[in-house]
Chain A
């Protein structure tokens, strides 16, 4: 091997220091973004994540004192053309009648409008992640309130001694730099999407979550083989790191058309 020698004496002092500091600066930035890690050398998912309010077409744009939340012509970053088609699972023919009925009666049947949990994956990527060595906590500020999921990552299996629930029971493990969250033990009170996409108690959901700098990639596959033609892979979603802290949500109050019509309700629920 050729022995390369470098004579530092010929390099101006200021220049060598600039090179060293520049190198440290670059390395520091790489460490704090692309490869942020926890003390146990896992990818660091801690933080608040802007997730489009759980809906992929909400992108806030500030225009002077104005704020556009959806589809503003004035927004310089406004996407051209129509929205992408809704992301929906493919149902077996025998399940379609129920989907159609629920879709047509969405106002009466949508669990969210009854202040029930949105379920998984409808809830979207987490608003905040708190990561510890043996567990990860997902926190949400969703359309009808706050929700949480405590996800063990210590190698344990799914518990069988807990009741089925809207958000199911989740366990996690690391696949390289990707957190894999597997959830089951769901009840059947939630929908997969906004439009009557019901599921059974056999539902299983796999979320693959990977951090790339200030982006959090959320890739989800839904399994419900008795009613779906095939596993449903959701359109990939990306949440971005934000300084906006999650807060306690206001109350969720189910309102119906009769109340709206006669306007006799009391505006303050308490």
Chain B
């Protein structure tokens, strides 16, 4: 009798422990995604400040070049294409990860990284070209605001690529488990967020910049 009681009590305890385990397992996961979202929102405010700076200084040429003279729109369109394509390839990586297909996830992540690197290469090419012409951030208020805004975005993309490569090593080592999927989701939010910021950059800085 006492044996049975003990077993029942043990079973109940076991159930309690496992339900507590599930609760504990569930909440931090939500917490991470929400916390990361709040980080992205604070990052959004940094970009808001940089956009506001550009809005104020964007036409202060100080006798230097205007946007219409230095912006190469076909190059910007190509760059926008790279970033947009990298967004959907990251989406494909997430879909592959949901199906637990590690090989395909890694492949799509690699393609995303290469597209991100192409974007960075073109941006650095544009920067070095401008600086070579003598139109560096010191030349005018417009160029200071331009380099600060576009440079900050480029720095985010750089760190995104570093994160992406790190994650590919982690996936290679541990496969698609709960923790790695959570990391993939966070990087997904980060990557898509950078594309959202780029919409603002190409519209407000480049397209409106070349308008008289």
A and B interact: no
